[in-house]
Chains A and B, each alone.
Chain A
């Protein structure tokens, strides 16, 4: 019972992470393409300025909760996908510093350097998270001691790489939807135009990926949710054509959330299937903590997760206004002098 609750909660944290940081990644990847002037790029970055860090905490909580609820899953995954996670870490470090230090000097070269850090810091995790989750679902070589026996290149198989393409294109589509909703003027126009093209690529990649997943082994619930995810993406593209930017964003958010849900439904009751032998699968029971620990963690999650949703939602409400490149100030002696965000 509690194992199921925590499987659900871990899925919930990952869904929250990919839905929220998904558009941050997408915006970071679109930064050099949609932001043609320095002020346009600053406007784009400020569109996620107040919230990106809160979005990123979802992955820390997903990781920490996995450690607490399924220690063997945490240990196998993190030691196994070692170099992939290392690359994600380097990317997240550069990206986080880039946001904070971007406008601490009034220098175009300085900001351009950080612009590229944001681009790569967003693109690398956007691809690698897809590679990682595709491999988790498909199964990787795990021995009887629950240790991963492959290496980085084991993960870079066709199915894994397709997974990376799916997350990359879905996040870019989601990012475009966010930009069209949160900016004004040329940025909004460009984002609206970009969305359809990337969205179609994402739709094709995602449908192939979800079919492939079900072909490997059919799981009815997962298949149904996959279809709904695909429909949500179609809905997002239609909304984009109709210039209903709010609905387009809801559509891409639902697509990502449902796609991750479909992967977790496909996994259950495994958490990391072994391609070496089904007897070595990590499951919600053999990977889990004791009932006592899960009870303690459940109490904490039930009290604090809704609270987090409440105040994070409030911060989105506070910063609901659109951002414009016209309101980004000129360089000044002191970068914190009067500036509209």
Chain B
């Protein structure tokens, strides 16, 4: 593999890994803040116990999101210096704003929350976790605005002398239709993830520790299921809009999601399919008109095909292959939808099984344990779809991925960093899962502490 392939693999590995923790951080911050607010309002100790139990799990995942995020901030310059020179005038701004507005807010107020139980008035302490939660949303918005510009460049002009894209309208970059649609999609997915996490653990506790802490965990299960389903609603609505947006802005990505070779009216959608290496279809199960409905909301709508787009792009950008790797986009698109749908079905099933004080049976444990991994998988496949679907471009229509890589970094250097990051991340994953498993089994913390009036205040001390 050359430096370009290695740099792409490295970006894929480190970004997918980073994004396992990001959605959990966002949604768990809000869920924990919600539990703490409920405790503040009602004084019911159940909510304090949940705040501390899920707060501990939130901190374990948040830490991993923070440290893997540092790599993301540096990686553009390290492996993608030509890209950085080309887009820095535009792309750097949301990144810097994210740091200044969001990272400072999150880190400072999280420190205040962790160590401030006995030092701050109760309402100030509650405000701290809410500020952290808002900080995670701000962070998500700015980084998604940066990514949206790579999908759909807006508010710029190309400077031929400097050979770079230059910002002309920051408002256009921050209100890019791709970020306006992508933000609710990603945040909805994040809430599905946190909801599944809270729900899965609560069901596990209800079944495996029957009779212990039932009241708090019944509440947690209902909260988790509700958050998951509301998040899912956002994902479906914004996803539907995004599908149509992609059909006009990145038609090649949509064509590659289906493997649609030629432009068609009333295009069908394959539930599954199989091709040989040359891209020739061997077998597929198709639902008629569905792709046209997804793309245009009209069963007779026209959807552009890969071959037609390929000749159009060759005329526009010169010779080259402008199609993404179809099996990757085809399957990641379906795994995204499949995993997300299964998670929503599981949440509905649990709500039904737990109606009016019922307890799910032993069989529910397996589903409860698999559940948190479903939205995590959907998030990962969604990013793989949207990033691989943009290929061969790093900035759609402006710069090829192959032109963005650092020219002076050797394949050996990229190989070294990729192997070490992968091993390090793998090791940390083992530690993290071990810690989560230990915490999930631990009894709920005593609720005798946490108030400003307690002489033995609670803290998540190091």
| A interface list, Cβ under 8 A from B | 42, 45-46, 49-54, 56-57, 59-61, 63-72, 74-80, 82-83, 85-86, 89-90, 92-94, 96-97, 99-105, 145-149, 289-290, 292-293, 296-297, 300-301, 304-305, 308, 311-312, 315, 318-319, 328-329, 333-334, 336-341
Contact = CB atoms under 8 A, between A and B. Distances in A.
B262 interface: no
Contact of B457 (A72, A83, A145, A340): A340
Contact of B74 (A89, A104, A105, A301): A89
A304 B100 contact: yes
Given A75-B85, A103-B461, 20 more contacts: A49-B115, A71-B89, A74-B77, A78-B74, A78-B76, A78-B77, A78-B78, A89-B71, A97-B64, A97-B67, A97-B428, A99-B462, A100-B60, A104-B439, A105-B435, A147-B407, A293-B93, A311-B104, A338-B449, A339-B459
Contact of B108 (A86, A145, A146, A315): A315
B328 interface: no
Interface stretch (B165-173, B297-305, B352-360, B379-387): B165-173
B116 interface: yes
Given A60-B99, A65-B96, A78-B78, A83 B416 contact: yes
B438 interface: yes
A103 B63 CA distance: 13
A64 B98 contact: yes
Interface of B: 52, 56, 59-60, 62-64, 66-71, 73-74, 76-79, 81-82, 84-85, 87-93, 95-101, 103-105, 107-112, 114-116, 118-120, 164, 166-168, 170, 406-409, 413, 416-417, 420-421, 424, 428, 431, 435, 438-439, 442-443, 445-446, 448-449, 456-462
Contact of A90 (B420, B438, B461): B420
Contacts of A57: 99, 103-104, 107
B77 A101 contact: no
Contacts of A92: 67, 70
Contact of A334 (B81, B99, B443): B443
A85 B257 CA distance: 38
Nearest to A114: B462
A53 B66 contact: yes
Contacts of A290: 89, 166-167
Contacts of B458: 336-339
A297 B96 contact: yes
Contacts of B77: 63, 67, 74-75, 77-79
A196 to B, nearest CB: 29
A103 B155 CA distance: 48
A89 B70 contact: yes
A336 B56 contact: yes
